[in-house]
Each structure stands twice: as structure tokens, then as C-alpha cells.
Amino acid sequence: MSDEQPELESYPPSPEFAANANATAALYDEAEADRLAFWAAQANRLHWATPFTEVLDWSGAPFAKWFGDGKLNVAYNCVDRHVEAGNGDRVALHWEGEPVGDARSITYAELKDEVCRAANALTDLGVGKGDRVAIYMPMIPEAVVAMLACARVGALHSVVFAGYSAAALRARIEDAEAKMVITSDGQYRRGAAAPLKPGVDEALSGMGDCPVRNVLVVRRTGIDTPMTEGRDLWWDEVMNTVSNEHTPEAFESEHPLFLLYTSGTTGKPKGVVHTSGGYLTQSAYTHFNVFDLKPETDVYWCTADIGWVTGHTYIVYGPLANGATQVLYEGTPASPDEHRHFQVIDKYKVTIYYTAPTVIRTFMRWGRELVREHDLSSLRLLGSVGEPINPEAWRWYRHVMGKDQTPVVDTWWQTETGAIMISPLPGVTDCKPGSAMRPLPGISAKIVDDDGNELQPAPEFGGEATGYLVLDKPWPSMLRGVWGDPERFKETYWSRFAEQGWYFAGDGARYGSDGEVWVLGRIDDVMNVSGHRISTAEVESALVGHAGVAEAAVVGATDAHTGQAICAFVILKEHAAAQSTEDMVHELRAEVAREISPIAKPREIHVVPELPKTRSGKIMRRLLRDVAEGRELGDTSTLLDPKVFEAIRAAK
Ligand code: PRX
């Protein structure tokens, strides 16, 4: 077995796993035989108040309608349905707070009460069908309740990661014209209580015409929190005044469920729109089959934050639609020390664990001895998401955490796809470390060249042919648009292969020797830092927002730990050039944290006298990436002034 040739390795499921798996090879055949009938069958695992008769209407492409004449209530499907089926006593959430000992288990019956109360509270406060609600919260059960309550009354939630700055929150509230914000007084971060609500105050105070009528505040840390009379309300006080009875209304399948802002190639994040029936269908289907969920016995844990799409689909909607029992953990992996994740796995006897390659690489640095101090024998399936997983990390994951037994599913998808698209089926697929393998049953993807011709599976491993990853058929959980900007939706995703009518994902990929897909990462100006998606333009615009910066160029450079790292090159204005470079770099990193989030702080900022540009004035990021990664420069023939690099290298 060679380290350099993961294509030659193959990890089949054990015969026992295969024999008991939810998904067998027959699923591919079923989908192949009649794709729409297949999706109809998946959709019918849900409860429809009005059954659908039409599966897909693609006549308005690229705007799809799935199960268009059906009606359902998403929250009813995620909560009430399980209580009515007699599973009210099943734990829905084992919540584990960051401070050790701060834990709470919530059954489906209790979750139903909470969601009903919150739905009544929203209704009383004038929030209803089609309204937008911003949710800016840590990983606490109330965040899940808030999302489900919005779904229940037909309001769209827009969850904003609680690590985002006030400025980023403001931009998202403004764009969505949110009527309400739900937040908490503070959050625990690495052992300390930090305020959160003041970020909301700051976001709202900077708004000219503020759409927000109320701010609901959950008490999490008890820290002193200023409240604005007439606008701000304590969550617990409101929840105490309302009934736990609430009759859910059924909404059209295409009624929007949520907005989720994500970075694209411009400086302005876009609000990806997801709708109800199709999204819930594919979320539940993938969660059931890719994770082989046995709702009666499994304890599932997805370590993502609800601020990202993984938290939406694989903490809230997929698992709850399937009646799963899951762990919801508030903190970071190293709080209070490196043992925490392994202790949590042991404490709840977690059977299915879904995390990001960056977390796995962190564990690798801590060393296997630490992991082996813990009993992880409950684990029976491991998953990975967010960026390409390097074969070494994949093997370590399976070997050290999975005891060479568990299937490892590398799942490829995006905020826009809503749910997993390319992934092994754990009871069927012989996995190769680092490959997401094949499109799931019901999903169609291709790797094509510039002209849209499908690439041939590489005849030999390490084959050169790399191309664009496209999705050539609509899928139920596909995004339905960019909030308030249909043109941007078409331009961003559907223009590259407009003639063929394909969705271009922004990723490069190649086929392996058995026709499996190897996703290589973004080929646009989007960076992937520890699985967080950040656009170069967004960081550049934060940098030039600083009074001392004349120009900025940002690139993502390969980083062994975070996948990619942000490297910035800035030209200072004359008056700022007098300042010490060290002070300036410090200020600029703080500026990026203030404008976007600490997660977007560049690893390196180089003050340079010039930037490499083409004759038409376009910054040549490709060459800057060569510099950042210490490589020989690629083709410089279109560069206006080839000497610019001597100056950049001298400054670096
Ligand atoms: O580049 C791909 C990478 O993450 C991008 C999507 O980011 P986001 O919308 O934030 O969603 C992340 C969680 C679904 C993709 O365009 N990506 C995600 N999963 C994988 C991946 N790249 C390779 N392999 C994966 N399994």
C-alpha cells in the first residue's frame, strides 16, 4: 500500500456492516430506473398535509419546483410526527455545554413543547409567513428551537454564525430586511463568557432604516446585558407567557424555509434561498442513507456550527426529520483541554461522528496516544465534510478513531446544494482515502472540460485530466435563488455552461481509475480555510476599508493544517507608509476581524510596493499564489511589469 497512490487502496465495508446497512446497491438501480419516481418515494417518507402529484417542474429552469402542489409543515415533520408515532420519550438532543457538567437532554416531547411555545411567541410578536428572522446564537438548544419555530410559522430564518462581527451581521439583516433578531446575552468561548448581544445592538444602531422590531434574548451566561425598552425581550419571560399548544399550518412545498449567506466571488455575501419540501426530502434521505442512521439505537454527532449549512442540514433538519438522537456540543474541541471530543463520544456512546478534515488534522497533531486514552468503541461510522480530505488524514481517522473497522464517508456538497451530493454509501462502496467517490442515487454530476465535454476516467492513477465539476440534472434540495437577486443567481451558477443548462459548482475535480470523483477544491476566487468559505474579494474590501491602504490583493495559499490560509498583499498610502510595518499589519488583521470575523484574519500580510497586474489592470492572483507558496512563478507573459516580483519578493 503506497502513501502516494490512494487510488490503489480500497476499503470495503465489513460484511456485517453491509448486511445491516440502510442502503444497498439496489438504491442506485432504483434511482437509475426512474429518477423522479425514486425522489417521489423519498419525499413520501415525510408527512404531507396535501400530497403532491407532480414531482418536478423544470420548465422555469434554473428555477425548479419540486413536489410543487404538495403542502407540508417542516417543523411538524421534524418534531410532532415522532411524538405522535409514540417516540416522545426519545432523546432528540443531548446538549453538552462548554463548561464541563453543564448538560441537558431534551426529548422529542419536550422539544415539541418548546417549539410550540416559540411559535406562539413569534406569532404574538407579529412574525409570520414570509417574514425574515435573523438568528445570531451560540450552539444552545434554543438556537434549534428558534429555527424550528420559524419553520413552523412559515418565517424564513437567516442564521448568522455567532463568530461574525457586528458589521457582517448588519449587512445580513439589512439585505434580508429581518423583522426580528434572536440572540443570547453571551456565549462561552474557550472557558470564558463573552458578550454577544452588544454585537446586535451595534449592528442595529448603525442602520439607517432599521427593519427590526424586536430582539429576543436568551439568557445563556447571565452577564450584564443592556436591553432597549420596547424592542428587546428576554426569551424566557416571553416563553413563560405563551401556550405549548400550537397547530401547525401546512405551507406549499416551494415556500422558502431559510436564507443562508455565503461567500461568492464578489465582496458582497449572497443570501442562498432554500425551500421546504425538496430540501427536507433530500436532507432526510441523505442523512438516513449516508450515515446509515438507526433512529432507535444510534447516537449521532455532527460537530458543525448551526451558523453553517452543515449545521442546518445535518444537525437540525436531516437528523430531526429522521427522529435521530444526537449530541449538540457548544464549545471548541480543546475546551477545557484536548480530551473533550473523545470524552463526549464516550459519555454519550456516540455511534456516528461527522466532522471536518481540519478537526481531524488537529487531532493528528495532538497524537494518537491521547485518543487511545478514551473508549471510542461505540463509533461505527465516521464522516468528513467541508474540504478535500487528504489521504493521510483519512487513514488516520479510520485507523485511530475507527479502529480500522468503521466506514469513512467523505461527503461533498455545498451551501447551494443544500444536502450531500457525492459520497460513498457506507454499506456498499469500497472507499478510497480522499475521494468522495460517486454521486448518490438520484444525483447526477459530471466532470467536464472548457467546452462541456465529459472527461474520460483517467486511464492511470494520477491522470492529468482535471476539469469542472458540474451538476447536470436538478436535485430536490438545490438552491432556489439568491435573495433579491435572480440575475446574480443565473450569472453565478448557470452561466458557465448555460448552453447545456448545467449548474457549475465552482470546484475542480478529476476522475479516478475506477471512475470515482476526486474533488480538488475551488477554482474560483473563493478560499476554504478550515472548512470556512471566504472570498478573496470580501477580505480585500475589508483591507481597503482601512484608511492607510491603497490597494490589496488576497489569495488562498495551501496550508498543511487549515487546508488554505489567507495571504494578503497590500500597498499602503503615502501617509501610512511612515508607520511601522508591524503595527500596520496588526491593525489590518484587527480591521478584517471587525469587518468580517476573526476567522477571516489573514495568516500573512505583506506590505509591497506594487501588485502584479495584466495590461488591462487585472490583479494576477495566480502569480501571487505562487509567491505565497514559495513556488517558481508560472507564466508571466501577460504581466505588465515583470520586474514587480523582485520588489514583492524583497518585501516578503
Ligand atoms: O470546495 C468545496 C468544499 O466546500 C465548498 C462548499 O463550501 P460551503 O458552501 O461552505 O459548504 C461546506 C459544507 C457542505 C465546496 O465547493 N467541500 C465541501 N465538502 C467537500 C469539499 N471539497 C472536497 N471534498 C469534500 N468532501
d(CA 621, CA 604): 15
Mutation test residue for ligand 1: of 263, 408, 528, the one with most atoms within 8 Å of CB: 528
Statement: residue 493 has pLDDT above 50: yes
* Ligand 1 near 388 CB (within 6 A): yes
Contact 555, 567 (CB under 8 A): yes
546 is in an annotated binding site: yes
Q: Yes or no: say if 516 and 428 are a contact pair by the CB < 8 Å rule.
A: no
Closest-CA residue to 44 (of 253, 300, 319): 253
> pLDDT tens for residues 403-421?
999 999 999 999 999 999 9
**Domain limits of the chain?**
6-444, 530-651
Name the superfamily (CATH) of residues 6-444: ANL, N-terminal domain (3.40.50.12780)
Q: Which 3 state secondary structure label does DSSP give 74?
A: helix
Give the closest residue (by CA) to ligand 1 atom 6: 414
Tell me: is residue 530 an annotated ligand-binding position. Answer: yes
Find the range with the poorest average confidence among 38-47, 145-154, 342-351, 603-612.
603-612
Q: For residue 320, what are the contacts with CB-CB under 8 A and spacing of at least 6? A: 78, 79, 92, 144, 148
Distance 227 CA to ligand 1 centre (A): 39
453-464 pLDDT, tens digit per residue, is: 999 775 554 455
Q: What is the mean predicted confidence (pLDDT) over 585-607?
A: 94
Alpha-carbon distances of 378 from 300, 412, 577, rounded to whole Å: 11, 25, 58
Cβ of 519 closer than 6 Å to ligand 1, yes or no, is yes
Atom of ligand 1 nearest to the CA of 410: 26
Contact yes or no for 613/569 (Cβ under 8 A): no
What is the best residue among 411, 412, 523 to mutate for testing ligand 1's pocket, by most ligand atoms within 8 Å of CB? 412
Contact 475, 442 (CB under 8 A): yes
- The reply, when asked if residue 549 is annotated as ligand binding, is yes
Q: Is the CB of 182 under 6 A from ligand 1?
A: no
Q: State the first-to-last Cα distance of the chain, in angstroms, to the nearest integer.
A: 40
The single-letter DSSP state of residue 390 is: P
> Regarding predicted confidence, which is higher, 369 or 643?
369
pLDDT digits (tens, 9 = 90+) for 39-56: 999 999 999 999 999 999
Known binder of ligand: residue 533? yes
553's torsion region: left (phi>0), alpha (psi -120 to 50) or beta?
beta
Ligand 1 neighbour 260 (Cβ under 6 A): no
544 appears as a binding residue in the annotation: yes
Q: Kindly state if the Cβ of 309 falls inside 6 Å of ligand 1.
A: yes
| Ligand 1 centroid to residue 411 C-alpha, Å | 8
Residue found under cell 478513531: 401
Q: Is the pLDDT of residue 94 over 90?
A: yes
Q: Is the CB of 418 under 6 A from ligand 1?
A: no
CB atoms within 10 A of CB 102: 12
434 assigned to a ligand binding site: no
Question: To test ligand 1's pocket by mutation, which of 262, 270, 354, 413 has the most ligand atoms within 8 angstroms of CB?
Answer: 413
Give residue 19's pLDDT: 98
pLDDT of residue 357: 95
The answer to whether the CB of 436 is under 6 A from ligand 1 is yes
Could you please report the per-residue DSSP string of 437-454? BSBPTT--EEEE-TTSPB
How much distance in Å is there from the Cα of 109 to the middle of ligand 1? Answer: 34
Nearest to 423 by CA among 302, 318, 516: 516
What are the residue ranges of helices labelled H in 35-88? 35-43, 74-75, 81-82
Cα 133–Cα 136–Cα 141 angle in degrees, nearest 5: 95
What is the homologous superfamily of the domain 530-651 according to CATH?
ANL, C-terminal domain (3.30.300.30)
Instruction: Identify whether the C-beta of residue 388 lies closer than 8 Å to the C-beta of residue 406.
Output: no
Confidence at 576, pLDDT banded by 50, 70, 90: confident
CA 387 to centroid of ligand 1, rounded, Å: 5
Read off φ and ψ for residue 555, nearest 5 degrees: -135, 160
Ligand 1 centre to CA of 593 (Å) is 23
Q: How confident is the model over 310-338, as pLDDT tens digits?
A: 999 999 999 999 999 999 999 999 999 99
Q: Which residue from 299, 395, 407, 301 is spatially nearest to 20, judged by alpha carbons? A: 407
Q: Is 413 annotated as a binding residue?
A: yes
Does pLDDT of 86 surpass 80?
A: yes
Cα(414) to ligand 1 centroid in Å equals 5
* Atom number, ligand 1, closest to the C-alpha of residue 389: 24
Q: 78 CA to middle of ligand 1, Å?
A: 25
Expressed in angstroms and rounded, the spacing between residue 539 Cα and the centre of ligand 1 is 19
The verdict on the CB of residue 521 being under 6 Å from ligand 1 is yes
Per residue in 63-78, is it b (16+ CB within 10 Å) or e — as a string?
A: bbbbbbebbbbbbbbb
Q: Which of 314, 520, 533 to mutate to test the pocket of ligand 1 (most atoms within 8 A of CB)?
A: 533
Of ligand 1's listed atoms, the one at least distance from the Cα of 519 is 23
Residues 6+ apart with CB under 8 A from 641: 610, 612, 613
**237 marked as part of a ligand binding site:** no
388 is known to lie in a ligand binding site: yes
Check pLDDT > 70 for residue 2.
Answer: no
> Is the C-beta atom of 286 inside 6 A of ligand 1?
no
Quote the pLDDT of residue 267.
76
Distance 261 CA to ligand 1 centre (A): 15
Task: Name the H helices within 329-387.
Answer: 340-348, 357-366, 368-372
Distances (CA, A) of 531 to 46, 277, 384, 396, 412: 31, 28, 11, 19, 12
Taking CA atoms only, the protein residue closest to ligand 1 atom 25 is 412
Cα 412 to middle of ligand 1, angstroms: 6
Q: Does the pLDDT of residue 206 top 90, yes or no?
A: no
- pTM, two decimal places: 0.94
The three grid cell numbers given for residue 432, joined into one nine-digit string: 478510497
Buried b (16+ CB within 10 A) or exposed e, 358-388: bbbbbbbeeeeeebeebebeebbbbbbbbbb
Amino acid at 600: A
313 lines ligand 1 (CB under 6 A): no
**Statement: residue 4 has pLDDT above 90:** no
Q: Is 312 in the pocket of ligand 1 (CB under 6 A)?
A: no
Handedness of CA 111, 123, 282, 489 (dihedral sign): negative
pLDDT at 648 over 50: yes
The protein residue whose alpha carbon is closest to atom 7 in ligand 1 is 414
619, pLDDT greater than 90: no
How many angstroms does the Cα of residue 370 sit away from the middle of ligand 1? 29
- Centroid of ligand 1 to alpha carbon of 624 (angstroms): 24
Cβ-based burial of 202 (10 A; exposed 0-12, middle 13-18, buried ≥19): middle
The residue contributing the CA closest to ligand 1 atom 10 is: 533
Q: Which DSSP symbol is given to 68?
A: T
Report how far ligand 1's centroid is from the alpha carbon of 392 (Å): 19
Assess whether the C-beta atom of 409 lies below 6 angstroms from ligand 1: no
The mean of the pLDDT values for the chain is: 94
pLDDT, residue 410, reads: 98
Q: What is the pLDDT of residues 175-192, one digit of tens each?
A: 999 999 999 999 998 889
pLDDT of residue 465: 76
* pLDDT bucket at 3, cuts 50 / 70 / 90: low
Query: What is the Å distance from ligand 1's center to 405 Cα?
Result: 26
Evaluate: CB of 533 within 6 angstroms of ligand 1: yes
**What is the rounded distance in angstroms from the CA atom of residue 251 to the CA atom of residue 276?**
8
